[in-house]
Copies of this chain bind each other. A is one copy, B any other.
Amino acid sequence: MKKILLMAAAAIVALVANGQQALGPASGIVSPEINPDNSVTFRYVNPKAIKVEVTGDFLPSVPIQIPGGGVWAAPSKAALKEGKDGVWTYTSEPLKGDFYSYTFVVDGQKVLDPNNVYLSRDIATFTNTFTLSTEAFDDGHYYMQNDVPHGTLTKVWYQSAKMDRRLTVYLPAGYEQNPKAKYPVLYLLHGSGGDENAWSELGRACQILDNLIAEGKAEKMIVVMPNGVVRNPSAPDAQENNMFQPTMTNSRDQDTKPMEDEFPVIKSFVEKNFRVKTGAANTAIAGLSMGGRHSFSISRRYPGTIGYVGMFSGAGNGPENEKELKALFAAKPTLYWIGVGSADGVQKTASALRDYCEEKGYPCEYHESDGGHIWKNWRAYLVIFAQKVFK
């Protein structure tokens, strides 16, 4: 027996050294480090590198003209400085509270920070992320995992016409403990290149809802995040093509009709499988970019069933079907909300839709923020929109 105990102890020591299957050793470096003044220090170890930079949305943007038209507000780069033992370092200016993305650029090649396990995927591009909050009620605060009751996140499959498809569903804290309670539903749609993981990961939807509900600023609600590309079953992690690499093309529907047709299928599944309050007063839809266009088209297609509509940087929302839009407003939706960045390529169509609504006497709220066609804006719009619904 004593022998077995000694072997057990030896085995534990060996395991520690083994580090299970991790394919490389830890460096002992901390990166990123959020400093007391809310500046952030980035560190990277590479004695052989000639040039190490960091790029990310915490740095000022620089406009880049794209061949064929359009301007992309690309994050600028900042150079890290090499210290002893090949440790490169850069410290940012003090930052505002927000959820930030970055990568290193090592001799011209994008490299993820090997010391930061926080990653987010946008279409096919991974970036490291960090979240900071400079005061209790800034935007960063809403994006952080705080000591508040947390909702449940579920990935559930529903039967669509051609295949089973995956839905991401957020259930507010208390859902399980209150088996008779019913909740209103927000359908929250992603953009081109995205999928049913986009809002819960890059969009921080769970943190935003947890925090707004805990502070009494938003009603308890269920948030349903479908995959808006009807020919795709799911995000890559659950794709039957086990090597699916998303692109703007294979994860976008040019036409809104497939998603318009799919919406009642999703809604019916949700109403059958979760405890939801039904009717226009308890139903909201919002989306970013392509999802903004979907929200525009779906709300117009089914007048009188959706009380709250949010279009975040809605791509190509034009009132091309005036009769349906008239029917939508005849049913008096409680909120028709447009959010867009002043530097966004779709700012002109967004403000034109507002002008059209004003001309027709359709009640419409318009919110213009700084910046372009970026997640920073969409997270902020969700914070605003979620406080306006079901009240």
Contacts and interface: CB of A to CB of B under 8 A. Distances in A.
Interface of A: 1, 3-5, 7-24, 26, 30, 32, 34, 46, 48, 55-57, 66, 68-72, 74-75, 101, 103, 106-112, 114-119, 121-127, 130-132, 144-147, 149-150, 152-157, 164, 166, 173, 176, 191-194, 236-240, 242-248, 273, 289, 315-320, 322, 345-346, 348-349, 352-353, 356, 372-375
A125 B22 contact: yes
A60 B163 CA distance: 39
Q: Give the interface centre of A34, A75, A316 by most chain B CB atoms within 10 Å.
A: A316
Given A7-B348, A17-B68, A192-B20, A12 B111 contact: no
Contacts of A115: 124, 245
Contacts of A109: 46, 48, 106, 111
A22 B122 contact: yes
B70 A17 contact: yes
Given A11-B346, A21-B122, 15 more contacts: A4-B356, A7-B348, A7-B349, A14-B70, A14-B71, A14-B346, A15-B70, A15-B346, A15-B373, A19-B193, A20-B123, A24-B103, A110-B114, A117-B124, A144-B242
A103 to B, nearest CB: 6
Nearest to A351: B7
Q: Give the interface centre of A56, A111, A173 by most chain B CB atoms within 10 Å.
A: A111
Contacts of A273: 176
Given A14-B346, A22-B125, A72-B17, A4 B319 contact: yes
B66 A11 contact: no
Contacts of A14: 66, 69-71, 345-346
A118 B236 contact: yes
A11 B315 contact: yes
Given A109-B111, A115-B245, A155-B153, A8 B317 contact: yes
B242 A131 contact: yes
Q: Which 7 pairs show the lowest CB-CB distances between chains A and B? A: A14-B345, A14-B70, A8-B316, A17-B70, A8-B318, A22-B125, A17-B66
A191 B13 CA distance: 14
Contact of A240 (B57, B147, B374): B147
A353 B315 CA distance: 63
A57 B21 contact: yes
A150 B69 contact: no
Q: Give the interface centre of A72, A119, A243, A245 by most chain B CB atoms within 10 Å.
A: A243
A23 B101 CA distance: 9
A116 B245 contact: yes
B153 A20 contact: no
A254 to B, nearest CB: 8
Nearest to A68: B17
Contacts of A319: 1, 4
B374 A20 contact: yes
A202 to B, nearest CB: 8
A338 to B, nearest CB: 13
A5 B122 contact: no
B348 A11 contact: yes
A12 B249 CA distance: 12
A4 to B, nearest CB: 4
Contacts of A66: 14, 17-18
Contact of A69 (B17, B121, B145): B17
A99 to B, nearest CB: 9
A229 to B, nearest CB: 14
Contacts of A345: 10-11, 14-15, 18
